[in-house]
Amino acid sequence: MAGNNSTVDGMGFEEANQASFTDVISGTNVYASSTMQCEDLVANDTVSDSDGELKATSIGSPSAYGASIQAGAGTLGAGSLVAITYGHKFVGLPRVVVNYSSSTPDVGAICGSNIGSVGFVAVGDTASIDFDWIAVGL
């Protein structure tokens, strides 16, 4: 290392900024002012942007980077439906996939309906059925 430029672990900001695409960047707190590119990113705790989220997914054609992924599980209620609310609001409408969980036998169709930026409605054939969902969007 060229010198101690006083980040928490002694790795200076300019050292991280000068690393090539193939270099290994490591430390207790590593910051990048714009884009950090690497072949493998390994974290012992959290990797996030200024919003506290990691948005490394691309969607669409042509690809738009910066999408986030949210996932969860639910159980169909009375009337064979349940409203799902995402943990964080999407800017636009996400792509949502809903499927029976591995603990639930295939008992018919289940789908997402009324998909919005804050949630969707899961609809199925039978109440009390467990399902998993994943939403990807900007």
Residues 6+ apart with CB under 8 A from 130: 73, 74, 75, 100, 101, 103, 104
Residue predicted with more confidence, 132 or 54: 132
Total length of the chain: 138
Q: Using an 8 Å Cβ cutoff, are 17 and 32 in contact?
A: yes
Residues 85-104: tens digit of each pLDDT: 999 899 889 999 998 886 76
Q: Tokens in use for 90?
A: 């999407």
- pLDDT reported for residue 18: 53
Confidence check: pLDDT of 81 > 70: yes
Residues 17-69: tens digit of each pLDDT: 555 555 666 666 666 666 666 666 666 666 666 666 666 677 777 777 778 88
- pLDDT reported for residue 136: 92
Domains of the chain: 1-47 (no CATH), 57-137 (2.60.40.2080)
Q: Using an 8 Å Cβ cutoff, are 136 and 57 in contact?
A: yes
- pLDDT reported for residue 7: 45
Judge residue 135's burial from the number of C-beta atoms within 10 Å of its C-beta, 0-12 exposed, 13-18 middle, 19 or more buried.
buried
DSSP-derived 3-state class of residue 15 = helix
Helix (H) or strand (E) holding 17: helix 13-17
Confidence check: pLDDT of 4 > 50: no
- pLDDT reported for residue 26: 65
